[in-house]
Homo-oligomer: A and B are copies of this chain.
Amino acid sequence: MPRRVDHEERRRQITDACRRVVARDGLEAATFQAVAAESGVSVRLVQYYFGNKHGLLVATHRAVIEGSAARFGGGTSPGESAEPPPPRAVLRALLVAQLPLDDARRADAVVLAAFHAAALTNEAVTPQELRGAPRALVDLVAAQLLRERGDGALPGDRSGPGDRARLDAELVLASAAGLTQGILAGHVSGETALAVVDRLLDHLVDPA
């Protein structure tokens, strides 16, 4: 047996470098040579661990998605003993966590935007286990809205409170995506985005 190496750590090291390259110079700049130079290994090694470019890009896409998802759970894990926080606070934390308000989240958002745009015309860069993720987020937001409004009838009702909560949940997620896009493009400041989030929550919890 020759010397063994932690494959997962090496792959993480390389996908991290790829993530930095994409965040800095865009998806088309993520060549084997650029990623190898950024991660401090040889071109041959990148090829060895990911086979071809498609494998590298898919692995990087999955890594950045998992990294972003990990930031969601960070604020809600402790405090199981106390009573659950009010739904408005949960929703606000969920929205704010999505916004690219610091450099790390901005880099992730830029990378995700690059992959998102590429998926519109390529559809092979998205790992196929991620197709249903937005639907789960809608359910989560809708559940919080129903909890806030005191209505518990979630399963399939026509034009009932559950239907309205579902539309409001789509509105919440669309607003978060749009605000993220505006912040990245420089059209919207971070303070304005936070004010818009609070204004949206006012609309959602005020009129019952």
Give the chain B neighbours of A158 by CB distance below 8 A: none
Interface residues of A in 91-118 (CB under 8 A from B): 110, 113-114, 116-118
Once the chains bind, are B26 and A118 in contact (CB under 8 Å)? yes
CA distance A120 to B182 in the complex (A): 11
Number of interface residues of A (CB under 8 A): 47
The chain B residue with its CB closest to the CB of A25 is B121
A119 to chain B: closest residue by CB = B185
Q: How far is it, in angstroms, between the C-alpha of A119 and the C-alpha of B164 when the chains are bound?
A: 36
Chain multiplicity (copies): 2
Residues of B within 8 Å of A185, CB to CB, are 116, 119-120, 134
Query: How many Å from the CB of A70 to the closest CB on chain B?
Result: 21
Set of chain B residues within 8 Å of A171, measured between Cβ atoms: 175, 196, 199-200
Contact for A120 among B118, B170, B184, CB less than 8 A: B184
* Interface residue? A167 (CB, 8 A): yes
Distance A129 CA – B168 CA, assembled complex (angstroms) = 36
